[in-house]
Amino acid sequence: MSDPERELLYDDAHISFLEDIWGEGFLSPGGAEEALRVVEGLDLRGKRVLDIGCGSGAIAVLLARDMGAAEVVGIDVEPDVCAAAERRAAKAGLSDRITVREVAPGPLAFDDDSFDVVYSKDSIIHIPDKEALCRDVYRVLKPGGWFAASDWLMSHDGPPSPEMEAYIKAEDLDFAMASPTRYERALKDAGFDQIGLRNRNPWYREVAQRELATLTGPDRDRLDRDHGADFIADQETTWRTMIRVLVSGEHCPQHLRGQKPL
Ligand SMILES: C[S@@+](CC[C@H](N)C(=O)[O-])C[C@H]1O[C@@H](n2cnc3c(N)ncnc32)[C@H](O)[C@@H]1O
């Protein structure tokens, strides 16, 4: 399924660094608490859940083991993260309820009306066409089903500020950031009801400062040893440029919700 021409963004080295900062099995901030906040108030017991951009799999395990989902299908475009997610599901004894599929970027290869919940955590930033994504998520959801996601957004749809441009360049992860207004319209135009967005900037602005403190504090020697001093120096630059746009509010992670009407 991998396209040999496509550069790997989340290879084993990157996975191991991100898990060092964000916790085993997590390739985005906030650990289990933040991952579960995305589905707060939704009953997943016995449900079939799609996790778009499942990463190295800790969230799929949480959805199945802690939230009681009957089946979680995790999809991702990177072979290393899919392998890590499969290992994690097996280690948790959940291979019968968690399926991991490596997919090509593009339309979701699932039947109409086939999931109760479509989940995603900080992954759809990599999908530029938010309108097509929302239509596709709507299509695969059963009537009454929920789209519950977290993503990294930009506060506006104009050209990024020089600070934002510097941050996106430092990340070098093919970010395609959209505004809350654009997401809200895309969800509405796709047909979703009960649309809700929650700005997580105030939360992540604080957390990111603590992550930078980890990068620059007493752990630095170990991080340099484990991941390479040049790699960690680059990450410190990324975090510093990111904090600037978190403080300005231009980088505004959000939780997104919408329900497919019955
Ligand atoms: C920041 S990580 C988050 C992973 C996981 N959701 C978590 O929170 O730990 C983003 C993930 O999205 C995946 N990704 C990128 N483009 C994708 C696409 N078009 N479809 C599905 N996953 C994609 C990446 O390979 C990566 O694993």
Q: Tens digit of pLDDT for each residue in 27-66?
A: 999 999 999 999 999 999 999 999 999 999 999 999 999 9
What pLDDT, on the 0 to 100 scale, is given for residue 6? 66
What pLDDT, on the 0 to 100 scale, is given for residue 2? 54
35 CA closest ligand 1 atom index: 8
Nearest CA to ligand 1 atom 19: 105
Is residue 26 lining ligand 1, measured as CB closer than 6 Å?
yes
Per DSSP, the three-state class of 245 is: helix
Nearest CA to ligand 1 atom 14: 53
Q: Give the Cα separation of 42 and 169 in Å (integer).
A: 36
* Domain residue spans of the chain: 12-201+251-259
What pLDDT, on the 0 to 100 scale, is given for residue 214? 96
Q: Give the Cα separation of 27 and 4 in Å (integer).
A: 23
Question: pLDDT tens-digit profile of 118-173?
Answer: 999 999 999 999 999 999 999 999 999 999 999 999 999 999 999 999 999 998 87
Is residue 105 lining ligand 1, measured as CB closer than 6 Å?
yes
Q: Determine if residue 117 is left, alpha or beta; phi over 0 gives left, psi from -120 to 50 gives alpha, anything else beta.
A: beta
Is residue 55 lining ligand 1, measured as CB closer than 6 Å?
yes
Is residue 80 lining ligand 1, measured as CB closer than 6 Å?
no
What pLDDT, on the 0 to 100 scale, is given for residue 5? 65
What pLDDT, on the 0 to 100 scale, is given for residue 9? 82
> Which token pair is 47?
């449900």
Provide the CA 115 distance to its chain's centre, in angstroms.
19
28 CA closest ligand 1 atom index: 8
Question: Could you tell me whether strands 98-102 and 193-199 are parallel, antiparallel, or unpaired per DSSP bridges?
Answer: unpaired
What pLDDT, on the 0 to 100 scale, is given for residue 249? 98
Question: pLDDT tens-digit profile of 99-114?
Answer: 999 999 999 999 999 9
Is residue 152 lining ligand 1, measured as CB closer than 6 Å?
no
CATH class of the domain comprising 12-201+251-259 = alpha beta
CA of 127 from ligand 1 middle (Å) equals: 9
Nearest CA to ligand 1 atom 22: 53
Q: What are phi and psi for residue 121, nearest 5 degrees?
A: -125, 110
pTM: 0.96
Percent of the chain with pLDDT over 70: 98
**Residue length of the chain:** 262
Q: Give the Cα separation of 204 and 209 in Å (integer).
A: 8
Provide the CA 111 distance to its chain's centre, in angstroms.
23
Residue 71 parent element (H or E): strand 71-76
**Is 248 or 13 the better-scoring residue by pLDDT?**
248
Nearest CA to ligand 1 atom 10: 123
Structure confidence at residue 93 as a pLDDT band (50, 70, 90): very high
Q: Give the Cα separation of 90 and 258 in Å (integer).
A: 31
Nearest CA to ligand 1 atom 26: 55
Q: Give the Cα separation of 100 and 91 in Å (integer).
A: 14
26 CA closest ligand 1 atom index: 9
